[in-house]
Each structure stands twice: as structure tokens, then as C-alpha cells.
Amino acid sequence: MFRTPDGEEIFIIDGHTHFWDGSPENQANIHGKQFIDCFYAYHTALSPKDQLWSKEQFEKYSADKMHHDLFVDGPDDMAIVQSTYLSEFYKNGFNTIERNLDMAKAYPDRYIVNGAFDPRDGEKAIEYIHFMKENYNIKGVKLYTAEWKGDSRGWKLTDPSAYRCLELCQKLGITNVHVHKGPTIIPLDKDAFDVHDVDHAATDFQGLNFIIEHCGLPRLDDFCWIAVQETNVYGGLAVALPFIHSRPRYFAEVISELLFWVGEDKILFGSDYAIWTPRWLVEKFWNFEIPEDIKQEHGVDLTREAKRKILGLNAARLYNVDVEAQKARLKDASLAVAAE
């Protein structure tokens, strides 16, 4: 748990993490190398120098390291692991739900593991959603609309095949739909991450929460104009938040737009581990103040209450996490380890 400089304990749910294998041994082709190299470029460009990893470590890390970075050295109380398959680029997938669940089972009460589906799989996608719900009781999915499959270089939430999958998710109670709508990663196409399909889908599926990861960047305006009218559209801060270090005024402008249009109740913290580690992100976010001129222009402020919501309480609400009960479980587990 994160403790503020004045002693307040803040409950943290890291809404966007990964347990990937981008190693050369798992790369199926040049595109697998391009993808992990692009991730590493984000890591090196936006991280503090003392937080940089070696390329080899970045490509594939252990479950123990992830646990240490998130929960021991890091401030997280819980983390949501987003499954991303990228089967065209990686022999065994990039980070499949099976890989993620195998990692998570060693650390009970820490991880929420989300599934994934590709509507281009047709009936197999429908069967797979049933399988994940029945066997893993998933509460959410991560969707990658720019993922390649055969000759296809992307799909839309509004595709008829996608609607069949979303209808099933709503029926089964898989209510949290995390959609990558942000910066492109080579070799994926930027336009395949466009946010406009979110508007239609969010209107038609009122029983689902659409968490738009990366807040649509670089399409922030389009995202905000959608999210302000769609009550079930949320913004995930992964990728946006690291600018707090390298370009703090840019981050101030982004978070001010989000607070103005989307509101503090619909913004979620995510470190995007392992591109970035959460400790420095949370510390800088908690201490961050919006410059006075931007604050006055937008008529917003990043208050302590807003920070509490963004860092954990909003995600807890979406995933039905009883915060006080979870705190008690983690405290009991910590005491048990200390007694060993």
C-alpha cells in the first residue's frame, strides 16, 4: 500500500499490467522483434534514468520480479493483468490468459486476470468467451483492435462479429471491456486504434464498461467528446501518465482535459508494467499539482480525493472489490509472512 508523505494510506489498483514473453526465442518473425523493440523505446524515452532496464530483462521477466516490482518495492495493492495474444508475432503468444493465470496463482488476492478474444475467429471466439467465463470466471477482457490476423490488419468494435462477442460478454457478466485505443506499436496501423467505434458500441451495450486504455492518445479530443456523453466510457492513464516525468506540462494538459470532460470518477490508474514500474509513477502522481494557469483555464483541480479515486477506488468499483476487506486480507497475509 502507498503511504503519502503525511501518513495517509492509499489503496492502489494498477489497472494495466502485463506478464509478457517478448524474448527472441518466442518471436515468430521480424514483427515480434519490432513490437518489443517499440515497447522498449517507450520505456527508455519516458522513464527516469534510474528506472531503466536492460533490453534482455525487459524482453522476458520472472513472476517473482513482477511481484516484487508491483507489491514489494512497488505501491500496488492489486493489479489487473491484461492478456494480449499477438499470435501472428509470437510463437506462444505475447501474454496469454493461461500464462497470466499460472503466474497469478502463486499470489492469491493480488491479481485480477482478464481474458481476450478476437471476433474474427467467428464461432471459435464465442466458444472461447464461454470457456474463459466457465473455467476462469473472468470479469473483463482486453481488446486489441489493431491486431493482425492473416490478411486482416485490424477490426472495429462495430463489426457484426464483434457485436456478437460483446452481446455474449454482457449476457455472461463479463462487464469490463478494456480497449487499446492509443499510440500505435510498430508494425500495427495507427488508424486501427481509432476511437470512433467506441461511441456506437458504448451506446448499444449499456451493461458494459468500456475502459479506453491510453485515453485515445493521440486522439484525446475525440475520446473526451465521446466519454463526456457515454456514461459507461472510462479513461485508462497507461502511457499518458509517464509524461509526468519527461513532459510534466503536457501531462498537466492531458489530465486537465480528462478531469474537465470525463471527470474524476471515470479515470483509472495503470502503470503499463513492464514498460514502466508503478512506484515512481504513483509517487510523482500523488505529489503532482496542475500549474495554476492550466487549472484556471480548465476550472479543475487534481485534489487528494480525485487522486484516491484514480489510483484505486474507481477500479475497485468497476471490479466489485471490497476495499476494506481487501486491506484486511493483505494485512493478514503480510503478518503471516512476517511470522514465518
Tens of pLDDT, residues 39-62:
999 999 999 999 999 999 999 999
Alpha-carbon Rg for the chain, nearest whole angstrom, is 19
Closest-CA residue to 311 (of 6, 7, 9):
9
User: SS3 sequence, 80-132?
Assistant: EECCECCCCCECCCCECHHHHHHHHCCCCCCEEECECCCHHHCHHHHHHHHHH
CA atoms within 13 A on the CB side of 227: 30
The reported pLDDT for the residue numbered 108 is: 84
Cα separation values, 122 from 118, 129, 178, 179, Å: 8, 11, 20, 19
Alpha helices in the chain (DSSP H): 30-46, 55-59, 63-67, 97-104, 123-136, 160-172, 196-204, 220-227, 243-246, 248-261, 278-287, 292-298, 304-308, 314-318, 323-339
- Residue 176, SS3 per DSSP: strand
The reported pLDDT for the residue numbered 313 is: 98
Look-up: residue for cell 478474444? 117
β pairing state of 233-236 and 140-143: unpaired
Residue 169: how many CB atoms within 10 A of its CB?
Answer: 24
| CATH class of the 129-236 domain in this structure | alpha beta
The reported pLDDT for the residue numbered 337 is: 55
- The domain spans of the chain are 1-113+262-340, 129-236
In terms of phi and psi (left: phi > 0; alpha: psi -120 to 50; beta: otherwise), the region of 290 is beta
The C-alpha cell at 135 is 473455467
With beta carbons less than 8 A apart as the criterion, state whether 69 and 278 touch: yes
- Each of the 340 residues of the chain gets a pLDDT tens digit; together they read 899 999 999 999 999 999 999 999 999 999 999 999 999 999 999 999 999 999 999 999 999 999 999 999 999 999 999 999 999 999 999 999 999 999 999 998 999 999 999 999 999 999 999 999 999 999 999 999 999 999 999 999 999 999 999 999 999 999 999 999 999 899 999 899 999 999 999 999 999 999 999 999 999 999 999 999 999 999 999 999 999 999 999 999 999 999 999 999 999 999 999 999 999 999 999 999 999 999 999 999 999 999 999 999 999 999 999 999 999 988 877 655 544 5
Cα separation values, 330 from 5, 67, 227, Å: 22, 14, 34
Report the alpha-carbon distance of residue 29 to residue 11 in Å, rounded: 41
The model carries a pTM of 0.96
Task: Give me the long-range contacts of 126-131 (CB less than 8 A, separation at least 24).
Answer: 126/164, 126/165, 126/168, 129/165, 129/168, 129/169, 129/172, 129/174, 130/168, 130/172
Look-up: residue for cell 498537466? 252
